[in-house]
Amino acid sequence: MTAPSPATRRRRDPERRERILTAAAELTARRGFHAIGMADIGAEAGIVGSGVYRHFENKDAILVALLDRVMGRLQDGAAAILAAGPDDRTTLSGLIRDHVRVAIEDRTVLAVYHREIHNLPEEDRRRLRRLQRHYLEDWVHVLAPLRPDLADGELRLAVHAAIGAVQSTLFFRSGLAPERLAELLDGMAHACLGVTPNPAPSVNGE
């Protein structure tokens, strides 16, 4: 049997890397970061332990990649919404709904972020915390014109409360259908901010 060419191996790499990250997220969510090893991650991903090292130098590098991915998804979503939002209320509702989507679709990785960020090397931990603060500030800047009655500290408290409401689903499995869960989280986050939700676009975009 002919061995795969280098080009073929390169094409497979992204898929294998994704399998490793998915396996690491699932294991970390179930057992905690310190309780798993590279061999455990490889077994969960269906890859021999040595194969994991072809993509990640060590377990810390896997955790950094996981947390970078979920933070990047939130930032990219926020940037697109801020750029396209026609007004503050529409933009704020967009930020809320994007965060709800990430919390539901990337629930495992986002839960790992909150439980395991303290285990990162200090430089990576500070970098991610800085990105997190910038993300929160985006919400504050959009909320401020909508809630002129709130002082600066009150705006930040409201934003933290809204995001906390959304992320409550990370640590509690309600058993609700995703559509109903998203609807409830959306309403709760808007209530925390004291802002009437902008109507969500219909499936047909009308």
pLDDT at residue 91 greater than cutoff 70? yes
- 23 Ramachandran zone, left/alpha/beta (phi>0; psi -120 to 50): alpha
pLDDT band with cut points at 50, 70 and 90 for residue 205: very low
Model confidence pLDDT, tens digit, residues 132-177: 999 999 999 999 999 999 999 999 999 999 999 999 998 888 889 9
Q: Token pair of 91, please?
A: 């933009």
Residue matched to tokens 């991650």: 41
Q: Give residue 95's pLDDT.
A: 97
pLDDT mean over 22-28: 87
Q: What is the CB neighbour count within 10 angstroms for residue 182? A: 20
Higher local confidence (pLDDT), 42 or 155 = 155
Q: Give residue 2's pLDDT.
A: 42
High-pLDDT (> 70) share of the chain, %: 90
Residue 94 dihedral angles phi and psi, to the nearest 5°: -65, -40
Alpha carbon distances (Å) from 56 to 13, 66, 83, 118? 12, 12, 34, 20
CA 6 to chain CA mean position, Å: 33
pLDDT at residue 201 greater than cutoff 70? no
Q: Give residue 13's pLDDT.
A: 62
pLDDT mean over 171-186: 92
